[in-house]
Amino acid sequence: MKNKKLDAAEVWKQMEDLAAPQLRLSVHERAVYTYLLRHSRIEGKPRLRFSIGWLRRGAGLTIRAARKAVRGLVAKGALRMIGRGREGHLVEVRVPEEIRGVRAGEIAACRAARARELDNLEEADFLGSPELREAIHRREGGRCFYCGRQLSPRTRCLDHVVPLAHLGGNSYRNLVSSCRECNSLKRERQPSDFLRWLYREGRLSAGELSGRLRALAGLGAGKLRPALAAAANGKWKLEIRKGVREGLRRRGSRSKVEG
């Protein structure tokens, strides 16, 4: 078994969406499986040696329930028993996509769906809904993207990094949370020119300037994706779709937006 670095979020989704329902894992089996995964694969170790006492304490089960869950997981292919002895059990812990009973087609479909979500994110008009606008403000952590000043809902606005007149759009790569002063001072200037001007004016230190220029490059490269709350994912999908529709309707209308 390869021991490549795992994407823990991906493994967790596959476990909830595919492994648990398809293998019909019991509550105890789920508790044991996630506990063993956490101490093996998530730590980069394909195999794990453990005692039933350790497992039972960690998973919050009786000894009997822990033993039964281990047997169940071996039978379902989630664990491969390599050895059992005085030093405890030695098992190979499989991630969902390595378990024979978990259908590979569905895993591929899950990946494709997530890739589509990302595509949607790229196309979304982040001025299209209050929630998406808020996501941009949240990404900046309540500070002006340019001067770093602390913002409040009354003093903030969204600024087009590349002005709309220069073909900037409403993507998350081109919108930042900014104070009203920076928004009006920047006008049609290029963002890097504006940051250097702030430095010359003494509003940014040299270190802050280079930090802001790096952030600017990351923004354009798509590295500053607004975090979409996992718990509200379904809602976000809806918001993004709405944002895409709005974007098609009124692309390129304003350069500053309240919010």
Least distance to Zn ion, CB of residue 259, Å: 16
Residue nearer to Zn ion on the CB measure, 6 or 215? 215
Least distance to Zn ion, CB of residue 183, Å: 8
Span of 65-73, 100-108, 178-186, 211-219 interacting with Zn ion by CB under 5 A = 178-186
Span of 68-76, 82-90, 109-117, 139-147 interacting with Zn ion by CB under 5 A = 139-147
Residue nearer to Zn ion on the CB measure, 170 or 177? 177
Among 66, 69, 121, 147, binds Zn ion (CB under 5 A): 147
Q: Tell me how far apart the alpha carbons of residues 49 and 85 are, in angstroms, rounded to a whole number.
A: 10
- Which DSSP state fits 150? B
For residue 102, CA distances in Å to 21, 76, 166, 193, 250 come to: 9, 10, 50, 54, 44
- The stretches of 7-62 forming alpha helices (DSSP H) are 8-14, 20-22, 27-39, 52-59
Q: Which residue type sits at 125?
A: D
Residue nearer to Zn ion on the CB measure, 78 or 198? 198
Among 126, 146, 194, 236, binds Zn ion (CB under 5 A): 146
157 binds Zn ion (CB under 5 A): no
The sign of the dihedral angle between the CA atoms of 181, 182, 187, 193 is positive
Number of Cβ atoms within 10 Å of the Cβ of 40: 22
Least distance to Zn ion, CB of residue 220, Å: 19
Among 59, 135, 175, 182, binds Zn ion (CB under 5 A): 182
Q: Which of 159, 104, 78 is nearest to 126 (CA)?
A: 159
Span of 74-82, 149-157, 159-167, 226-234 interacting with Zn ion by CB under 5 A = 149-157
Q: Tell me how far apart the alpha carbons of residues 143 and 104 are, in angstroms, rounded to a whole number.
A: 44
Residues that bind Zn ion (CB under 5 A): 144, 146-147, 149, 179, 182
